[in-house]
């Protein structure tokens, strides 16, 4: 599902109106009616509720006027507040404002702080407030009267329904640019907008409903500019193919996990188990010789091979030949590997000589921090990196806080500049591809912020790549199911107590739920 910024949404409206021929007044009517429909679904007592509609002077306010009219025609007790002077309202918004007057529905004009002091108290005591003050065109922080109204609405205790965007958010920025409405429900039109899909703006949106107001899907798909997609369950489900009745393990690929060192054997086990749970036919763990007995004892289903090692129990650079000569369809390297000169030489050797896809994480990224340009992918040998914000910061010589301020731009820039795939972990993990497309993952929870969770994801990506589903598909499947498994673990154990092993244990259930065989359905009599 494509996610749009302000210019793209404006262009979608223009093409629909001018090229397709759907009048703007029809779009506004559809928008208002879709808001009311979403309210009916969200609030069982809507018809008995007292509703205030706060309308701005632009098209967002016009949408609000349609909402007010439809609610009034349903018999709902509704009051309308126009923030601004009616004489300044133009176009379709003016048309719908005038309709309210002809129907006899009073509209209170609030053009000053004094007006708000006079009328605001009654409006704020209503059960529901419809926020139709600003739409997707806001580019600067709210101030003055608008800021006062937003703060008062947030303090009122009323549930808020935001029209298109909570007022105060910018469609061009995932984070609030200033004071903004805290909504319980946001009904956005045509396509999701950035701040509704990413932290920290999404925390202000409440439940988000994407409403079809008549903008053709082809118009949205053909828009120029950044390509940002929100991953959906249906899209991911379509990537899981049926297994033939006569299939054998060789049909599902061989993942080679290069991981572990003295004191960090658990990383190798978690990655290997995750690759198996993701469907890889065969999984081998390549680990320093002294670590092999421990790794092998942790899992019976994967194979192991010993690597030449250094006195500190980390893999030596000479281990490269053993890894490259081992059977594999994909190599995943990094978890628990170590960060010395030998490991740097090993990772550089992989990048220079491996002929199969590479998944690089953790220590494999840290050792290349002084020379991030060494990370390069090609169409014949794709590379996937899976940094958390700290690892991404080290690659860019920045601080983690800087990465967090522009996660999307950072992931896209590194992916396109290095011709590889970036899986930037965190709240709403991002997948950036070499062509500049960025995918936003909706699954996952804060309980996954636990040691080993990233090792699980590395193994899952390797597991899907081994099966030959394609790099983008492998990343989407792994990231979505990783988050879904984490959500299942949190539901069973709580976010505080869950561990990375719990995520691995729920991968199978996450796959079953994705393919429409959830636990509840299987347990039913």
- State which residues form the domain around 342: 249-515
Q: CA-to-CA distance for 489 and 502, rounded, in angstroms?
A: 6
Same domain, 66 and 8: yes
Domain check: are 280 and 147 in the same one? no
- Please check whether residue 122 lies inside any domain of the structure: yes
Which residues have C-beta within 8 Å of that of residue 49, sequence separation ≥ 6? 43, 76, 77, 126, 127, 128
Which pLDDT tens digit goes with each residue over 371-404?
999 999 999 999 999 999 999 999 999 999 999 9
Question: What pLDDT is stored for residue 280 in this prediction?
Answer: 98
Residues 159, 76 share a domain: yes
**d(C-alpha 360, C-alpha 363), whole Å:** 8
The average pLDDT across 83-94 equals: 96
- Confidence band for 525, pLDDT divided at 50, 70 and 90: very low
pLDDT at position 463 = 98
Q: Which of 323, 371, 376, 367 is nearest to 347 (CA)?
A: 367
Write out pLDDT tens, residues 268-323: 999 999 999 999 999 999 999 999 999 999 999 999 999 999 999 999 988 999 99
Q: How far is CA 98 from the centre of its chain?
A: 41
User: Which of 164, 193, 225 is a domain's end point?
Assistant: 225
- Whether residue 240 is contained in a domain is answered as no
pLDDT confidence band for 11 (50 / 70 / 90):
very high
Q: What is the rounded distance in angstroms from the CA atom of residue 139 to the CA atom of residue 337?
A: 46
pLDDT at 519: 61
Q: Is the pTM of this model over 0.75?
A: yes
pLDDT at residue 521, rounded to an integer:
54
Say whether both 411 and 457 belong to one domain. yes
For residues 205 and 262, membership in a common domain is answered with no
Q: Residue 78's closest CA among 87, 69, 90?
A: 69
Is residue 174 within 8 Å of residue 408, measured between CB atoms? yes
Report the number of distinct structural domains present in the chain: 2
Report if residue 103 sits inside a domain: yes
Domain of 322: which CATH number?
A: 3.40.1190.20
Residue in the structure block whose two tokens are 């302000």: 6
**DSSP per-residue letters across 332-369:** EE-TT---SHHHHHHHHHHHHH--S-EEE-THHHHTTT
Tokens matching residue 50: 């007292």
Across 14-18, 135-139, 227-231, least confident range: 135-139
- Overall average pLDDT of the 258-263 stretch: 96
| Rounded mean pLDDT, 485-514 | 97
Q: Looking at residues 452-471, what average pLDDT do you find?
A: 98
Report DSSP state, residue 68. H
pLDDT-derived band at 137, boundaries 50, 70, 90? confident
Same domain, 202 and 257: no
- Residues 414, 389 contacting (CB under 8 angstroms): no
Alpha-carbon torsion, ordered 236, 331, 458, 419, to 10 deg:
-70
Query: Are both 258 and 109 inside the same structural domain?
Result: no
Distance CA 413, CA 497 (A): 36
Furthest CA-CA distance within the chain: 87
Residue 235 falls inside a structural domain:
no
Residue 330 placed within a domain = yes
Are 348 and 430 contained in the same domain? yes
| 244: in domain | no
Give strand pairing partners of 383: 358
- Backbone φ and ψ for 173, nearest 5 degrees, come out as -140, 125
- pLDDT at 112 (0 to 100): 96
Q: Residue 186 is part of a domain; what is its CATH number?
A: 3.40.50.10260
What's the 3-state SS for 126-176?
CCEEEEECCCCCCCCCCCHHHHHHHHHHHHHCCEEEEECCCCCCCCCCCCC
Residue 230 lies in a domain: no
Same domain (yes/no): 290, 218: no
Mean pLDDT of all residues belonging to the chain: 96
Q: Quick one: how far is CA 505 from the chain centroid? A: 23
Specify whether 306 is located in the same domain as 157.
no
Q: Answer yes or no: do 186 and 254 share one domain.
A: no
Same domain for 151 and 278, yes or no, is no
Contact 149, 125 (CB under 8 A): no
Sign of the Cα torsion 329, 330, 336, 337 reads positive
The radius of gyration computed from the CA coordinates of the chain, to the nearest angstrom, equals 27
Sheet holding 330-333, edge to edge: 2-3, 228-230, 438-440, 430-432, 421-424, 383-385, 358-360, 330-333, 254-258, 282-288, 303-307
pLDDT tens-digit readout, 325-379: 999 999 999 999 999 999 999 999 999 999 999 999 999 999 999 999 999 999 9
Report the C-alpha gap between 281 and 523 in whole angstroms: 28
Residue 434 lies in a domain: yes
- 59: pLDDT strictly greater than 50: yes
Q: How far apart are CA 192 and CA 195, in angstroms?
A: 9
SS3 216: coil
Q: Look at residue 520 in the predicted model and tell me its pLDDT.
A: 59
Contact 189, 213 (CB under 8 A): yes
Residue 518 confidence class, pLDDT cut points 50, 70, 90: low
With both helix axes pointing from N to C terminus, report the angle between 144-156 and 113-124 in degrees, rounded to the nearest 10.
20
The three-state secondary structure class of 266 is helix
- 175 pLDDT higher than 50: yes
Residue 200: is the preceding peptide bond cis (ω within 30°)? yes
What pLDDT score does 317 carry? Answer: 85
Percent residues over pLDDT 90 in the chain:
97
């Amino acid at each position: 599902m494509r996610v749009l910024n302000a210019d793209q949404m404006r262009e979608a409206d223009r093409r629909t109106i001018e090229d397709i021929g759907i009048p703007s007044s029809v779009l506004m009517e559809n928008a208002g009616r879709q808001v009311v429909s979403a309210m009916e679904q969200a609030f069982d007592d809507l018809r008995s509720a007292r509703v205030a509609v706060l309308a701005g002077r632009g098209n967002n306010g016009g949408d609000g006027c349609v909402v007010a009219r439809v609610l009034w025609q349903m018999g709902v007790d509704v009051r309308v507040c126009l923030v601004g002077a009616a004489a300044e309202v133009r176009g379709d918004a003016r048309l719908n404002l005038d309709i309210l007057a002809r129907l006899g529905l009073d509209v209170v004009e609030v053009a000053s702080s004094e007006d708000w002091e006079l009328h605001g108290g009654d409006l704020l005591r209503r059960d529901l407030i419809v926020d139709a003050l600003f739409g997707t065109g806001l580019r600067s922080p709210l101030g003055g009267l608008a800021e006062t109204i937003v703060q008062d609405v947030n303090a009122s205790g009323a549930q808020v329904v935001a029209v298109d965007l909570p007022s105060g958010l910018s469609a061009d920025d995932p984070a609030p640019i200033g004071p903004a409405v805290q909504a319980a429900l946001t009904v956005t039109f045509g396509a999701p907008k950035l701040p509704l899909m990413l932290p920290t703006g999404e925390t202000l949106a409440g439940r988000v409903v994407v409403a079809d107001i008549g903008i053709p899907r082809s118009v949205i798909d053909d828009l120029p500019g950044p390509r940002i997609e929100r991953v959906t369950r249906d899209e991911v489900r379509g990537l899981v193919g049926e297994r033939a009745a006569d299939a054998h393990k060789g049909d599902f690929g061989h993942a080679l996990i290069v991981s572990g060192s003295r004191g960090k054997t658990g990383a190798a086990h978690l990655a290997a188990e995750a690759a198996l749970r993701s469907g890889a036919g065969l999984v081998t763990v390549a680990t320093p010789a002294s670590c092999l007995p421990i790794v092998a004892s942790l899992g019976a289903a994967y194979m192991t091979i010993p690597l030449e090692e250094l006195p500190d129990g980390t893999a030596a650079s000479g281990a490269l030949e053993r890894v490259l000569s081992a059977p594999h369809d994909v190599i995943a390297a990094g978890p628990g590997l170590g960060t010395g000169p030998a490991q740097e030489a090993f990772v550089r050797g992989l990048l220079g000589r491996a002929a199969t896809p590479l998944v690089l994480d953790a220590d494999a990224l840290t050792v290349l921090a002084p020379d991030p340009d060494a990370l390069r992918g090609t169409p014949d040998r794709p590379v996937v990196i899976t940094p958390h914000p700290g690892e991404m910061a080290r690659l860019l010589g920045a601080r983690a806080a800087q990465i967090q301020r522009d996660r999307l731009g950072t992931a896209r820039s590194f992916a396109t500049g290095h011709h590889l795939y970036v899986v930037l972990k965190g709240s709403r993990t991002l997948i950036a591809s070499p062509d500049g497309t960025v995918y936003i993952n909706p699954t996952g929870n804060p309980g996954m912020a636990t040691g080993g969770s990233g090792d699980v994801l590395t193994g899952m990506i390797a597991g899907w790549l081994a099966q030959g589903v394609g790099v983008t598909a492998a990343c989407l499947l792994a990231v979505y199911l990783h988050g879904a498994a984490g959500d299942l673990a949190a539901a069973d154990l709580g976010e505080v107590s869950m561990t990375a092993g719990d995520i691995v244990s729920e991968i199978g259930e996450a796959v079953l739920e994705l393919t429409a065989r959830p636990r509840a359905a299987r347990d039913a009599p």
